[in-house]
Amino acid sequence: MANNLNHSMLFIGGTGRSGTTVLKKILSKHQSIETVGSELRVFVDPNGIVDLYNSLVKIWDPFRASSAIEQFIYFWKNSFTTSYFPKYLRGVTRNSFISPLKYRQVKVSKLQKRMLNDAIDKFINFIGVDRVNATWYGTKSLSIKPQFYSCPKITKRQFVEAINFLIDDLVEIFKSNRQPHYLIDDTPYSILRYMELNEFLPNAKYINIARHPLDVLCSYEEQRWCHNLGDASNRLNDVYSELIALETESQEWNYKTIKLESLISQPDKILEDVCSFLNIENTFDITMLGLTDKSLGRYRARLSKAEVSHYKRQFKDVFDWYQYD
């Protein structure tokens, strides 16, 4: 596997509903930054790369390794699709009692799909996985021609090398007419895996984009994974607690927090800071960004004065930490 080791991951995260997509769309205009168009959830979601790293490097045993590899391969290959049908189905099921198709959200061409399958095969082969016809107690029931993924315990260094190969392949598959240095993943909760990702992605950078807590809360309530404001506020408070604890241990050279409100009101200053953080030239044309403040302060129309007072008390530490009024 040839590898330039010139590409790094750029994780844009936060609480969710805080502006990660907005920031990704802006940064993806830069010649040094590439994106796959959707959240690249293969790093931090269950059965993703973080789980694979833990199973192969930190808490290895033969059965755990085989199971982790099998689930990761399945997850990877089902994270990309050549069809528009999953997107259509997500729209149809958005307000229904039926859940949409799991993942399959990154639309790719047939050629890209083949290249992605080749990339994961190369990655698996590189870390020394051998597929054998065998079963163990965790093999799926009534499987036809079941396979066991035999993999030795590998070192952190080996995993880092393999992941760098995989990232380079991803960039080559998705890059347009540019020579990017960074590949963006804007899966919001990726930022919560900062410490783990840092172990095997030492050159990655992380941007946490914050938004007024009550605006995030109102946006949470509209999501199908939240039941009501009470459920949303408890979940959001837990996420904020994790973020604040994380930021006390983060390193300035690879972790930066910005505020959505500042990005919209002072885009030139914020983007200059971001470019400096990423060590890239600021080539952004502020007049072409299309930023709007329509989504800011939306909580004032949704929450009563009593609710505002209640949630400000609940999120007092958050208001203090991010300096919101």
pTM of this structure: 0.93
Residue 115: Cβ-neighbour burial (10 angstroms; 0-12, 13-18, 19+): middle
Helix (H) or strand (E) holding 315: none
Nearest CA to 109 out of 177, 181, 39, 37 is that of 37
Let me know if residue 281 belongs to a domain: yes
Query: For a pLDDT cut of 70, what percent of the chain falls above it?
Result: 92
What CATH number does residue 78 fall under? 3.40.50
Query: For a pLDDT cut of 90, what percent of the chain falls above it?
Result: 80
Let me know if residue 306 belongs to a domain: no
Tell me the pLDDT tens digit for each residue of 99-133: 666 655 788 999 999 999 999 999 999 999 999 99
Question: Which of 11-20, 81-90, 162-171 shows the lowest per-residue confidence on average (mean pLDDT)?
Answer: 81-90
Query: Tokens representing 70?
Result: 């099998």
* Domain, as residue range, for 193: 8-211+251-293
Residue type, 153: K
Residues near 285 by beta carbon (within 8 Å), at least 6 away in sequence: none
**Number of domains the chain contains:** 1
pLDDT category at 52 given cuts 50, 70, 90 is very high
Let me know if residue 162 belongs to a domain: yes
Tell me the pLDDT tens digit for each residue of 302-325: 999 999 999 999 999 999 999 999
The stretches of 181-222 forming alpha helices (DSSP H) are 194-200, 213-221
Let me know if residue 218 belongs to a domain: no
At residue 224, the pLDDT reads 81
Let me know if residue 311 belongs to a domain: no
Question: Is the pLDDT confidence value at 88 over 80?
Answer: no
pLDDT category at 179 given cuts 50, 70, 90 is confident
pLDDT category at 227 given cuts 50, 70, 90 is confident
Query: Considering the chain, what is the average pLDDT of its residues?
Result: 92
At residue 30, the pLDDT reads 96
HEC assignment per residue over 222-238: CCCCCCCHHHHHHHHHH
CA distance 167 to 235: 32
Angle separating helix axes 305-314 and 213-221, nearest 10 degrees = 110
Let me know if residue 128 belongs to a domain: yes
More confident residue, 88 or 302: 302
Tell me the pLDDT tens digit for each residue of 1-32: 444 457 999 999 999 999 999 999 999 999 99
Let me know if residue 309 belongs to a domain: no
Question: Is the pLDDT confidence value at 184 over 60?
Answer: yes
Tell me the pLDDT tens digit for each residue of 243-268: 999 999 999 999 999 999 999 999 99
Handedness of CA 55, 119, 44, 133 (dihedral sign): negative
Let me know if residue 320 belongs to a domain: no
